[in-house]
Each structure stands twice: as C-alpha cells, then as structure tokens.
Structure 1
C-alpha cells in the first residue's frame, strides 16, 4: 500500500479530525488496493461511513482473480515505466552472490536433494 499519496493522507487526516462523515467511492480499489478493511475500521472509529457504489458480492475465487489481475497490472506498469531507463539498467553490472565452495555441498545451496 502506498502511504505517500498526499490526497489520501489528507483525507485520512480529515477523517481523524471528524471533518468527514461519509466517503463515497465507485469501487473498493479506488480508495486502496489492499487494506480496505483497515481503512473501513479506521473510518468507523472516527464516525465516518464508507459507501461503495459498485459493491458486488464476489466468490472467493473471483475476488482472488481480481486481486491477481490488479497485482499483475501494477507490476506490468512498473516494467513499462522501467523501459525508459533500460540503457541505464543494462549499463549497471549485476553481481550474483556465490556460496562458499568448501563449507556447503552443492545439493544444499541449490535446494534440491540429490
């Protein structure tokens, strides 16, 4: 969850100061992708109600698939953003850590029993 969203933080501050009585959103994901239950609890604690207009009851499988699609979208957006910096990324050498050869058997550091 990204806590650096200025408008979201300002909204939560106003809820904590009892300046907001109701928050209306189109979907749960518009307020936050994860942690909706916590935000709902926080708002209820400060006498604020959250109204979700597009609230449809989903099966656990459908909810899981929506979460999965949301995560995939987030990471694909990040990868698309990184394409701007592909030359800089290629220029940086990547060093992978090597396990000590004397103390660990090959099967142990691979993680597979031989």
Structure 2
C-alpha cells in the first residue's frame, strides 16, 4: 500500500499522540479503501474518527464498491484515467458484480 505524505503526517501525529479526533464528511475522504482498518490502527493511540455523513450499507454493497475502487485504481494505472479502455474495464466489472 502506498501512503501519501498527508497520510504519513496523520499517522505520525497519532503515534506522537498529538491528535485525539479526526472529523471527516465521508469515510472515503480519509481513505478510498480499508476505512475500518485505519480506525483499528488509530484506536490504540487514542484517536477517534468522527464521520459526519455516514451511509449505512449492507456488506454486499460495501464489497461491490471496494471491488470497483480496486479495479478502477489498477485500470487507471494500466490504461490512463481518461482512456476509453479504462471506462470499459470499470463498466465490465460493474456488470459482473451486478449479476447474481
């Protein structure tokens, strides 16, 4: 997992116990993937994450969104974010996940 400079700074502040609360509008503003893991990682350092607009989703819906996020990320790397191939890959994954 590649961590950006802002994320490293946030983790450093948590480890140094310089923050106790993170307030975000939506979970994906903190991380695109693995929100619960970040929560568990920060908890031992006394950091609480407060989500102002939390949408309740069933496990299947969360899994579908996670798979689309992962696929979008790697398709973007492979084909470029503006290419037709990228959109085709993401649409194909959506169709596969929607079929029972």
Provide TM-score, normalisation by structure 2: 0.68
Task: Report what 1:21 is aligned to.
Answer: 20
Task: Report what 2:88 is aligned to.
Answer: none
Deviations 1:76-98 (A, max 9, x none): 21123399xxxxxxxxxxxxxxx
Q: Which has the larger radius of gyration?
A: 1
Separation in 2 of the partners of 1:16 and 1:53?
Answer: 24
DSSP-derived class of the 2:74 partner = helix
DSSP-derived class of the 1:23 partner = strand
CA RMSD of aligned residues (A): 2.1
Q: 1:53 to 1:80 in 2, by over 3 A?
A: farther
Q: Could you tell me which runs of 5 or more consecutive residues in structure 1 were left unpaired when the two chains were aligned.
A: 84-114
Q: 1:30 to 1:82 in 2, by over 3 A?
A: closer
Residues 1-114 of structure 1: pairs in structure 2 closer than 5 A: 1-3=1-3, 5-81=4-80
Separation in 2 of the partners of 1:41 and 1:77?
Answer: 29
Deviations 1:59-92 (A, max 9, x none): 1121111112212221221123399xxxxxxxxx
DSSP-derived class of the 1:73 partner = helix
Separation in 2 of the partners of 1:45 and 1:29?
Answer: 22
Provide TM-score, normalisation by structure 1: 0.61
